């Protein structure tokens, strides 16, 4: 570092508007000379420029030397040699920007704004936390937004974070990196972030610091081997949300009943069915074209996926539009994924094409009004209404199929339950085997009964070998009631319970009759007369009756799950009896 005490600070210089009369972004200049070499810094406001000029004069009067090359006081020049975390993040985002999808760009910017705002020098005049976060995400971090004009408050916040962002090399200290990792678990206002959000922030920070190591700004990545103070939890799919095949068919049938008399959600029947039977992501369904579908009249078909349509903030897309066409997730340009589809989905897609045809560019699914890919708010709203119709009150109150994405989880779980090898399941679903086993390998709702039965059979075999509990250890309530003690109350209770079971069984059977076959999607004239009784109205009535029976059951201190099981067993026995009579 070449130092000098020969320093002279000049008056401020103000630039005039350009030839078009437009105000320059930074018109106020601070100028000074170090050993004959002219230096300058430019600011958006006169106040900021004056503050900087006064700071230089004060430093000069205190007898501090200046670096001739950079023009900065010795203390500032030494600090600038080390990259600040903000500067390192900008370089990292610039490096990733061109090859990243719009939503990936947004994730990088939003995620890195958190540690950058936290890793600063203490200052009682720090800007508001929300203002600082907004400046980082809309101006300083996005590669394509750094030249936009800022308001006075935004300008002051941008200059503050640029000055106060600490050197990235300080994160080599274990205490510093530990404190920074702890800050990742908090949102604005101090509210605790979700486990998934915290892990995502930690992962992106790890990649940033790895980039800093590659740039020789750090000797080693300080995140590696560091235990972060994050919430404990998992990111696996909740098994309670996964549909079994019978429930899947039932809730898909409800989609066409969820709309109005004009059939506003009919076109989503195929959308949701594709997610359920083929495990497609919503962005992949939105890009599905007729040429990508092999739909024979009989047997299995195929979907050949090459692109997806994702929605993102327009400031993160190259085109400036909200929708962006991208390659498949974690796939190279031109790579395809072939997904075999069962005859059930083949029939649904053939019906969809016959009813709704395609868009001019050949896509199967588009919004009715906008003609754009179907927005998440649209299909999520439709799904909420579908659950209310297609599930029983108990199921509706549970996490079962709480989100449209649970259809994809159910598809993967169904394939695994059917015995399809994990490698094949992962290939069809479009992710790695590791992700499959960690996130998607969940027990189907109702499959536990099968597993329990297998365990029971094994334990029964052990009993036959003579390994049984002594009679004295059998619980007293399992012994038969002596005749002299039986006053008939037990039989009366049993009769009343059986009556509730039969009532509930009849309601289940009626619901399944209504939901067993989906209403065919078809155009309905706007002036069509209202039906005397719509299926959705009848389903709502059934739901109210089911709630009444369940409440009576609970009033007796009984478990509603036991009512559901006994009612379905009752229906199964009746069906077996009817089948036997037909055979005779």
Which distant-in-sequence residues (6+ apart) come within 8 Å of 288 by Cβ?
274, 280, 303, 305, 363, 364, 365
Higher-pLDDT residue of 534 and 2 is 2
pLDDT tier at 485 (50, 70, 90 boundaries)? very low
pLDDT tier at 491 (50, 70, 90 boundaries)? low
Q: How far apart are CA 135 and CA 146, in angstroms?
A: 10
Rounded mean pLDDT, 326-353? 83
pLDDT tier at 300 (50, 70, 90 boundaries)? very high
> Does pTM surpass 0.85?
no
Residue (of 258, 505, 550, 268) closest to 395 by Cα position: 550
Q: How many helices (H) and strands (E) does the chain have?
A: 21, 11
Structure tokens that stand for 254 in this block: 């409800």
Query: For residue 242, what is the DSSP state?
Result: P
Q: Is the pLDDT of residue 533 over 50?
A: no
Q: 37-43 and 307-311: which strand pairing?
A: unpaired
pLDDT tier at 527 (50, 70, 90 boundaries)? very low
pLDDT at residue 520, as a whole number: 45
- Domains in the chain: ranges and CATH: 3-81 (no CATH), 85-214 (no CATH), 239-440 (1.10.443.10), 490-584 (no CATH)
Q: How far apart are CA 227 and CA 185, in angstroms?
A: 13
Q: What are 191-205's pLDDT values in tens digits?
A: 888 888 888 899 999
For residue 13, the surrounding DSSP H or E stretch is: strand 13-14
Q: Mean of the per-residue pLDDT values for the chain?
A: 79
User: Residue by residue, what is the 3-state secondary structure of 25-86?
Assistant: CCCEEEEEEECCEEEEEEECCHHHHHHHHHHHHHHHHCCCCEECCCCCEHHHHHHHHCCEHH
pLDDT tier at 472 (50, 70, 90 boundaries)? very low
Window from 150-164, 281-295, 343-357, 503-517 with minimum mean pLDDT: 503-517
Residue (of 518, 559, 556, 554) closest to 535 by Cα position: 518
Helix (H, G, I), strand (E, B) or coil at 468: coil
pLDDT tier at 49 (50, 70, 90 boundaries)? very high
What is the sign, positive or negative, of the torsion defined by CA atoms of 348, 354, 360, 361? positive
Q: How far apart are CA 10 and CA 30, in angstroms?
A: 7
pLDDT at residue 79, as a whole number: 66
**Euclidean distance between the first and final Cα of the chain, in Å?**
103
Q: How far apart are CA 238 and CA 426, in angstroms?
A: 19
pLDDT tier at 358 (50, 70, 90 boundaries)? confident
Q: How far apart are CA 246 and CA 13, in angstroms?
A: 76
For residue 317, the surrounding DSSP H or E stretch is: none
Q: How far apart are CA 387 and CA 253, in angstroms?
A: 11
Window from 146-150, 314-318, 350-354, 373-377 with minimum mean pLDDT: 314-318
Q: How far apart are CA 237 and CA 409, in angstroms?
A: 7
Q: How far apart are CA 447 and CA 452, in angstroms?
A: 9
pLDDT at residue 233, as a whole number: 46
pLDDT at residue 459, as a whole number: 60
Window from 67-81, 308-322, 500-514, 525-539 with minimum mean pLDDT: 525-539
Q: What are 302-323's pLDDT values in tens digits?
A: 999 987 777 766 666 666 666 6
Helices assigned H by DSSP within 119-218:
129-135, 152-164, 174-183, 195-214
For tokens 């039986």, the residue is 486
Q: Is the pLDDT of residue 85 over 90?
A: yes
164 neighbors 138 (Cβ within 8 angstroms): no
257 neighbors 536 (Cβ within 8 angstroms): yes
Residue (of 98, 52, 51, 112) closest to 76 by Cα position: 52
pLDDT at residue 444, as a whole number: 44
Q: Please give the C-alpha separations between residue 411 and each of 217, 280, 398, in angstroms, as whole numbers.
A: 46, 9, 19
Structure tokens that stand for 24 in this block: 């320059």
């Amino acid at each position: 570092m070449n130092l000098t005490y020969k320093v002279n600070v000049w008056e401020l210089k103000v630039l005039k508007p350009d030839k078009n009369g437009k105000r320059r972004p930074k018109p106020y200049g601070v100028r000074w000379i170090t050993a004959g070499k002219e230096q300058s810094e430019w600011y958006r406001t006169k106040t900021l420029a004056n503050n900087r000029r006064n700071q230089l004069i004060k430093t000069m009067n205190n007898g501090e030397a200046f670096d001739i090359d950079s023009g900065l006081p010795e203390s500032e020049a030494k600090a600038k040699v080390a990259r600040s975390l903000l500067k390192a993040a900008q370089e990292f985002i610039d490096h990733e920007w061109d090859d990243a999808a719009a939503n990936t760009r947004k994730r990088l910017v939003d995620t890195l704004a958190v540690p950058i705002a936290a890793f600063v020098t203490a200052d009682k005049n720090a800007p508001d936390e929300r203002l600082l976060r907004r400046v980082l995400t809309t101006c300083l971090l996005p590669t394509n937004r750094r030249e936009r004009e800022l308001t006075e408050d935004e300008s002051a916040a941008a200059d503050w974070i640029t000055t106060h962002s600490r050197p990235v090399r300080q994160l080599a200290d274990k205490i510093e990196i530990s404190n920074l990792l702890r800050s990742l678990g908090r949102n604005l206002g101090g509210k605790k972030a979700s486990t998934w959000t915290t892990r995502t922030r930690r992962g992106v920070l790890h990649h940033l610091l790895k980039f800093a190591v590659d740039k020789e700004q750090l000797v080693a990545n300080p995140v590696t081997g560091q235990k972060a103070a994050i919430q404990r939890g998992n990111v696996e799919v909740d098994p309670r949300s996964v549909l079994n095949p019978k429930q899947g068919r039932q809730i898909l049938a409800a989609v066409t009943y969820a709309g109005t008399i004009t059939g506003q959600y009919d076109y989503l029947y195929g959308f949701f069915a594709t997610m359920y039977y083929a495990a497609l992501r919503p962005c992949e369904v939105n890009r599905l074209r007729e040429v990508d579908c092999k739909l024979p009249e009989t047997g299995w078909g195929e979907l050949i996926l090459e692109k997806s349509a994702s929605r993102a903030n327009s400031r993160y897309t190259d085109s400036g539009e909200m929708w962006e066409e991208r390659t498949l997730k974690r796939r190279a340009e031109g790579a395809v994924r072939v997904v075999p589809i069962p005859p059930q989905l083949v029939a649904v897609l053939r019906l969809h094409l016959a009813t709704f045809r395609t868009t001019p560019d050949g896509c199967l699914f588009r919004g009715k009004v906008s003609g754009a890919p179907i927005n998440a708010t649209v299909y999520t709203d439709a799904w909420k209404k579908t659950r209310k119709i297609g599930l029983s009150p108990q199921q509706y109150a549970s996490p079962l199929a709480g989100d449209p994405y649970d259809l994809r989880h159910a598809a993967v779980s169904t394939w695994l339950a059917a015995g399809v090898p994990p490698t094949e399941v992962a290939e069809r679903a479009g992710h790695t085997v590791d992700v499959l086993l960690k996130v998607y390998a969940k027990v189907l709702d109702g499959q536990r009964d099968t597993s329990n039965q297998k365990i029971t059979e094994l334990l029964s075999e052990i009993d036959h070998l003579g390994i049984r509990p002594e009679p004295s250890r059998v619980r007293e309530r399992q012994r038969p009631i002596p005749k002299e003690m039986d006053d008939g109350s037990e039989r009366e209770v049993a009769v009343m319970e059986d009556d509730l079971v039969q009532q509930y069984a009849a309601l289940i059977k009626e619901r399944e009759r209504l939901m067993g076959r989906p209403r065919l999607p078809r155009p309905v004239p706007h002036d069509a007369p209202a039906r005397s009784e719509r299926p959705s109205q009848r389903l709502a009535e059934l739901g109210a009756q089911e709630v009444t029976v369940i409440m009576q059951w609970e009033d007796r201190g009984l478990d509603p799950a036991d009512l559901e099981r006994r009612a379905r067993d009752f229906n199964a026995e009746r069906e077996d009896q009817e089948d036997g009579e037909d055979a005779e």
